[in-house]
Amino acid sequence: MTTAKAEVLIVEDEPEIAELIEFHAERAGMRARTIHSGKLALELIRREKPDVIVLDLMLPDLDGLEVCRRLKQSDDTRGIPIVMVTAKGEEADIVAGIELGADDYVTKPFSPRVLMARLRNVLRRNGAVDEASPKNDRMILLGGKIVIDLDRHETVVESRKVELTLTEFGILHYLAGRPGFVRTRDQIIGAVHGKSTVLSSRTVDVHITALRRKLGDMADCVETVRGVGYRFADASTSDDD
Ligand code: CA
């Protein structure tokens, strides 16, 4: 982290919610600013490049998913992390946002503490070199409890070699590539597609179950995010909601 304050842009048309987020962001040592319109947000983001965006999906002029799509389509703004704010029960929106490239989300009503934790996480991940970068031929995860050797297609769990199918290996490798990030079933299918048999949403679940069984005591590292998908546990942060 640099010493400069992280700049968070809040895109939210409800003033009370925007003020609440601003208050907590500033208390957490960030600089916060609110914009009430999706269209104006796009202009401002292109011009000023904030460090992170809190994006409400329900906006009056241009909905949040469209804002997300446009930001992630442009080379200029693609790298800016987005944390979505969604209405309760709108899992389809969450899935769509994640597939468009949003980094994380909270659901209304959310705890400001949880939102701040999410913001710090995406900022940290954005700045940090990924420990588990897929460019290396070995991924060392959870302090060495899981080691994935990409060249040899080998997985070692707590010093024990584990035999995974190609699909299980592909799923684990994909999820572990970005610990803490939720992946939807469609993203998993896209990543593993072609490496083995054809996958469907339901077979993803079946492979995950088999993968967890083989991981034994470490099964919990593949987390279910209800209604959205799966993620690999992030050892450096614990979710407190
Ligand atoms: Ca709204």
Same domain, 165 and 121: no
Which domain-ending residue is among 90, 125, 160? 125
Whether 157 maps to a domain, the answer reads yes
pLDDT at 124: 84
- Could you tell me if 220 and 233 are in contact, meaning their C-beta atoms sit under 8 angstroms apart? yes
Total number of domains constituting the chain: 2
CA of 18 to the centre of ligand 1 (A): 9
Q: Look up residue 231 and give its two tokens.
A: 């993620």
123-155 in b/e burial notation, b at 16+ Cβ within 10 A?
A: bebeeeeeebeeeeeebbbbeebbbbeeeeeeb
Residues 235 and 145 in one domain: yes
CA-angle at 162, arms to 160 and 166, nearest 5° = 155
pLDDT score recorded for residue 137: 83
CA–centroid distance, 201 to ligand 1, in Å, is 31
Do 79 and 154 belong together in one domain? no
Q: Are 84 and 119 in contact (CB under 8 A)?
A: no
CA of 69 to the centre of ligand 1 (A): 17
Same domain, 152 and 115: no
Do 189 and 100 share a domain, yes or no?
no
pLDDT for residue 201 = 79
Strands (E), 163-232: 183-184, 222-225, 229-232
C-alpha of residue 6 to centroid of ligand 1, in Å: 23
CA of 63 to the centre of ligand 1 (A): 9
Residue 235 and residue 149 share a domain: yes
CA of 15 to the centre of ligand 1 (A): 9
How close is the Cα of 187 to the center of ligand 1, in Å? 27
* Model pLDDT, residue 178: 87
197 C-alpha to ligand 1 centroid (Å): 42
pLDDT at 237: 56
Co-location of 88 and 176 in the same domain: no
CATH number of the structural domain spanning residue 62: 3.40.50.2300
Tell me whether residue 158 is in a domain: yes
Return d(Cα 172, Cα 170) in angstroms, integer. Answer: 6
pLDDT at 220: 95
- Centre of ligand 1 to C-alpha 91, Å, is 16
C-beta separation of 35 from 41 below 8 A: yes
- 13 C-alpha to ligand 1 centroid (Å): 5
Residue 68 CA to ligand 1 centre (angstroms)? 15
Give the pLDDT of residue 131. Answer: 46
Ligand 1 centroid from CA 84, angstroms: 11
User: How remote is the CA of residue 230 from the centroid of ligand 1, in Å?
Assistant: 27
pLDDT at res. 1:
47
For residues 217 and 144, membership in a common domain is answered with yes
CA of 56 to the centre of ligand 1 (A): 6
pLDDT tens profile 202-228: 889 999 999 999 999 999 999 999 999
pLDDT of residue 241: 42
Instruction: Specify whether 143 is located in the same domain as 201.
Output: yes
Residue where a domain stops, chosen among 83, 103, 125? 125
List the domain range (segments joined by +) for residue 11: 7-125
Residues of the chain with pLDDT under 70: 1-3, 127-136, 194-198, 236-241
